[in-house]
Amino acid sequence: MLVLIAIAAFCSAFVGGLSAFYFRDKLHLVLGFSAGAVIGVAFFDLLPEAIKLNQDIFSIATTTSLVALGFLIYLILDRLLFIHPHEEEHCENPHHEKKSLSAFILAVHSMIDGLAVGLAFQVSPQVGLILAVAVLSHNFSDGLNIVGLTLKNGGDKKKALRWLLIASVAPAIGILATLFFKLPESLLGPILALFAGFFLYIGASELLPESHHGHSTRFTTLMTILGLVVLYFAIKLAGL
C-alpha cells in the first residue's frame, strides 16, 4: 500500500508542476480545495486520533498544546527557511531575496509530508489513507509552486523540470523511509498532534492565501469548504 501511495505522491507533484506551465491561471480552485482538505485532515483525523492515542498518557489540554507547538515549529521553519510562492515584487522580507535554496527547501518540505503519511500508517491504515488524501492534494500544489518559483527566479524550462523531478521524488522518499523504522506506540500520539499543528499552518498560511491571490474569493472559498466537507465525510466513512 505504501509503495502505491508513494507512486501517487510522485505523480501528484509532477502533474502539478506540469500544470504550472500551461494552466496556472485556473489552479486557484485546486489550491482552495487543497487548503480545505489539509485543514480538514488536521481537525477531523489527526487531532481526534492523537487525543485517543494520548488518553492514557496525557490530558486533552496537553495534546492540544502539542498541536499549538507543531503550529509554532512550522511557523518558525517557514519564516526562517521555507520559501513562499507569492509575488516577490510585493514582498518586503529581505530573507526572501535569497533564492538559491528555495527549490531544495520546497523539496525537503515535500519529504516531511511523505514522512507524515508513512508514520500515520503506523497508527492505522485508515488514518494513513485519510492523511494521504490531504498530502496528495498538497503535493500537487508543491509541484506547482516549485515550477513557478524556478521560472520566476530566472530559471529555464529545463531547470524547472529538473527541480520538479527532485520535488516529486521527495515525498515518495519520505513515505518509503518509514518502511525501515517503527516508532514506539507511546510516541505516535504526540507526533500526530505535532503533525496536526503542521497541517493547520500549511492550510491556513500557505494554501489559503495562495489560492486567493489575484482571484475572486467566491469560488476559491467554496472549494475550500468543499475540501473540508469531502474530508469530513471521507473520515466518517472510514470509521475514524
| pLDDT value for 216 | 65
CB 115, CB 178: distance < 8 Å? yes
Residue 100 has pLDDT above 50, yes or no: no
Average pLDDT, the chain: 81
Domain range summary for the chain, segments of one domain joined by +: 2-86+98-237
- Helix residue ranges per DSSP H, 153-240: 157-177, 185-201, 208-212, 217-237
Stated pTM of the model: 0.71
Euclidean distance between CA atoms 63 and 149, whole angstroms: 36
Digit-coded pLDDT (tens) for 129-183: 888 888 887 788 778 777 776 766 666 788 888 888 998 999 999 999 999 999 8
